[in-house]
Structure 1
Amino acid sequence: MRPELLQNVRTLLPEHHPRPEIELLYAMMRDYPFRGGKGVRSELLLLSARAHGVRESTAERRSAGWEAALWLATTLELFQNWVLIHDDIADDSEERRGQPALHRQYGVPLALNAGDALHAYMWGALQKAGLPQAYAEVLTMIHRTAEGQHLDLAWVQQGQWNLSESDYLDMVRLKTAYYTVVTPLRLGAIAAGGQPDGRFEEAGTLLGAAFQIRDDVLNLIGDAALYGKEIGGDLLEGKRTLIALRWLETAPQERRELFLNEMAKNRPDKRPEVIGTLLGWLLESGAVQDAQSVADTLAERGLKLLSHALSAAPDQEAARTILALAEGLARRQK
């Protein structure tokens, strides 16, 4: 995350309180934002603002457009962090960005409340941007993300595995794509006083889906030190990934039954040795390569559409950087 955004977070979030219990709340709200996230979503927003005509400026002589863009980018960062607190609770995750998840450190009730409080301060960041038209964009982002998260959680809660590739893509377009690609692109245009290109939505959902598939792949084969989460966590959490769904289509009956029986268990009851066996089956099956091929196709389509959408942008250097960043997201290796 850019230093300017971290400074905005420091400015916005309270730090000290005479009651130590409330000071702990403040510390918990600051925890995830300062764990060193990559800040790719906020960077995409700022690049979009530049592409649409906002000049990047320094703190000493900061333009109104760049100031608004920075506060919109701060809004995105706070959104991601309060959502991650809640997501870690829902998934009973162990780690986030290489450290214990917040609920593992302080318990679910306090972590849940800290996420709620951070959500409220997110709206404070949006207010500082001073762009009323941005509210509808942020609301849409929250609605779509919640819908995708509901699909993801409902499938786990209901033990549903009879799902297609289309089901999976519907879920990740909602859960991941809007806040990762669609909304940053659109908010950047709004920061420049423009109307977002209508093609941003389709391009963003294609690229966001490719990003999520890559994330699912890295969850199985990534470097834990670079990935920031536990390897194999999706199996422990019973996630419906494209990799698992593809594998189930052709898995021998006895392996399929073992997989489904283990996935039906709560996380603490899953056996590490069985999870290791399941991971080996997934990796040797070719399902990972199949999923990567789907991600490549989605990325190619999304990049082509995004390139057309940015072809008339005032700042073509920034537009090219957006395309490079989007390609990096969709084809990420870490």
Structure 2
Amino acid sequence: MRGFYIDKERTIKKVVEKVERASTTFEKANTELKRKYLKWNIEVFNIIAASVSVSRGSFGTGYPFYVLDKDLNGDIPIISEQIRYNRQLLRDGEIVQKSIWQCESCLKRNYEIMPDLKIICKPCPNMIDSLKPRKIINRLPDLDMWLVCEDGKVEEAQTELGALLEKYNMRTSDVAPLQSLSDVVEIATNLKDGTFPKIFLPIDAHIMEQSKLEELISQVPDELRLTKLEGRKPYLPIRPKSLRKKWQYDDEAYNFIYDYLSAFTAFNFTQEMEDTLQKSRIRVVQEHTPEELFEFLMQSATPANFRRFQEHKLEEIFYNRVTSWSDLAKKQKEDLEEELMPEF
């Protein structure tokens, strides 16, 4: 196993120190090399997604999409909330630091017969919750990438996408959790040393049908308008099929409002989908100020994401994002006026 050597360093102290160091090293490597590396990961996924016969495009959410523009350009800030979150892992491990991290041997012994990491690990009494595999994996950088497929073709899409991801060695953390730990150590070390990593980040892959995604995108302006009128938090549930150990629907839905406002970045959309997204964004910026949209973002964020967007730089990037939507609205208006202008 590359980089992590967990077989020889099995105490909880050693495990959490390795994870914290790797994740923090990755976070602090805010270089152009890191941006190019992230872009490479994203572009490879998009090529794979476009190869799926029933594909209608793909999109990204979460990190790094909330710090980069639609062309994946921009400076990558160091996010102090991620560093704080990593250090919390060290504190969680302090009270049992000399104990053996029993999850390692359990994963090696039982992983093949585990349905997924939640069903077996969550009720397990042999490790405190904050040090179970999924909690540790959550500290690792990964990419949230989504495939949009033809309606009624989710099963076909998951079969093709799963095979292609496996072929090109793109994995979710759940598929090989110990290997994911090892890979991130190697990736972080490479970036710190100025070397382009040759392996991919762990990936969270999701699939959605085209009509369901378009419906959600179209609902955003109305949901934000009603939220303002009714004085409540905005919420639109999105529940894709996700690749964990196997393809499955997760227990809890995501709040699409947060993803839409913070990071939604489309790739290779059909013209129909692109038009739907553009129309939705234009309505949103015409009906709300940037400050109101930022408030909607914070209301729809999880506690961890709320803390992230306390970063002034992330707030600034958000305003740049919605300003680009306003520019889109202005261009559309200018194009319409030009079309209606009489010829002499």
TM-score normalised by L of structure 1: 0.31
- Relative to total residues, which structure has the larger helix share, 1 or 2? 1
- Relative to total residues, which structure has the larger strand share, 1 or 2? 2
